[in-house]
Amino acid sequence: MTADRETVYTDIVQFLKDHDNYLITAHLNADGDAYASCLAVAYLLHQWNKRFRIILHDERKEDKYAFLWGWEYIQSYREGMDACFSAAVVLDVPSRKRIGGPAALLPGRKACIKIDHHPFEDDFAALQLVDIHASSTSQLVYEVVARSGIEWHRDIATLLFTGIMYDTGRFSFSNTSARDFEIAAHLVPFGIKPHEIANRIFFNNSFDSMRVIGYGLANMEVYLDGKVSIIFLPLEIMQKNEHAEIEELANYSVAIRGVEVGLFIREVQPGFFKVSFRSRGRVNVNQVAKAFGGGGHEHAAGCRVQTNYPELKQRLIEEIARQLPDGPSG
Ligand SMILES: [Mn+2]
């Protein structure tokens, strides 16, 4: 641990003590790490009797996270909403663009901090804790909480554990490090039951959701000699199953022997597509997603595109073919 890093942790703790009336926000399509890291920062501020609001771009609909402390604090952004902040904590997102609507609520750069593990993009925050080797933003927030002086409690332990468990794919993705196991070993004795958290966030699907997942798998296609798989949910299926929790399809898309890149595409509105990318490791899908105005990590990324499906599919396959290294997959 470098002295520089320690200074950043200390500065962040100080920032959270120095201001009041904080905005807490994260990336579009919030996931387990985004929710958990936002709520963990909110927990800290709550301990210190600070005022805060958590405002995310999308509607809060994933009630499988409702067991987390502070879930009811999460609000979705509305244009023209009456919100003014003197400071902001921006989590799990590298650019203003990927914050979505709440980016309009950010105070000036000096009053913003960023805690993130995506490759650096925008300089919108004066104080930054960015580490692309961290498994999750929750891991970085753990380091801050550990230096905050607050007492450990099951609620905050559950938040941080959940975020790390989510972003490491239950401690199995290539981003998982010894630090994650050290942190888990510290957190679990505060009353966490890892299998219960896993059951809540990974094995907690509705019957309808599982049927949609089944549809996606049954209609999967492969291209480029089996190196690219595509799972597509057309508008009709999406509209019939508005509340289905189907994010796991992204991980299934790359869980196939020989597949280097998995795509999970859904048409969310006529002509509007959400694409999730997963890579086995030889293709940097952050770069692929960027070619379509999105972004993320080397192994997992996403974008939103306005087009029609045949054209989107063709452009995606072409872009991946360009970035696919030749030679046998290993
Ligand atoms: Mn994350």
pLDDT in tens, 31-73: 999 999 999 999 999 999 999 999 999 987 678 899 999 999 9
Angle between helices 137-146 and 178-187 (to 10 degrees): 50
Residues, Cβ < 5 Å to ion ligand 1: 33, 92, 136-137, 167
CA of 198 to the centre of ligand 1 (A): 17
Length of the chain: 330
Confidence of residue 83 (pLDDT cuts 50, 70, 90): confident
CA of 41 to the centre of ligand 1 (A): 14
Q: What is the pLDDT of residue 2?
A: 60
Output 236-241 pairs: Cβ under 8 A, ≥24 positions apart. 237/212, 238/266, 238/267, 238/268, 241/208, 241/209, 241/211, 241/212
pLDDT in tens, 254-265: 999 999 999 999
- Provide the percentage of residues in the chain whose pLDDT is more than 90: 91
For the chain, what is the radius of gyration of the CA atoms?
20
- Sequence-distant (6+) residues with CB within 8 A of 118 are 92, 93, 94, 130, 132, 295, 296, 297
Confidence of residue 326 (pLDDT cuts 50, 70, 90): confident
CA of 258 to the centre of ligand 1 (A): 26
Confidence of residue 330 (pLDDT cuts 50, 70, 90): very low
Q: What is the pLDDT of residue 63?
A: 81
Confidence of residue 149 (pLDDT cuts 50, 70, 90): very high
CA of 117 to the centre of ligand 1 (A): 7
CA of 190 to the centre of ligand 1 (A): 23
CA of 326 to the centre of ligand 1 (A): 30
Query: Does residue 207 contact residue 244 with C-beta atoms inside 8 Å?
Result: no
CA of 115 to the centre of ligand 1 (A): 10
CA of 204 to the centre of ligand 1 (A): 21
- Sequence-distant (6+) residues with CB within 8 A of 185 are none
CA of 296 to the centre of ligand 1 (A): 9
Same topology for domains 3-201 and 207-323, yes or no?
Answer: no
pLDDT in tens, 92-136: 999 999 999 999 999 999 999 999 999 999 999 999 999 999 999
Q: In the chain, where are the structural domains located?
A: 3-201, 207-323
CA of 2 to the centre of ligand 1 (A): 23
Residue 329 has pLDDT above 60, yes or no: no
Residue 328 has pLDDT above 50, yes or no: no
CATH no. for 3-201: 3.90.1640.10
Q: What is the pLDDT of residue 251?
A: 94
Rounded Cα–Cα distance for residues 71 and 38 (Å): 10
CA of 136 to the centre of ligand 1 (A): 5
CATH no. for 207-323: 3.10.310.30
Confidence of residue 315 (pLDDT cuts 50, 70, 90): very high
Q: What is the pLDDT of residue 1?
A: 53
Per-residue pLDDT averaged across 145-159, rounded? Answer: 98
Q: What is the pLDDT of residue 3?
A: 63
CA of 222 to the centre of ligand 1 (A): 28
CA of 155 to the centre of ligand 1 (A): 20
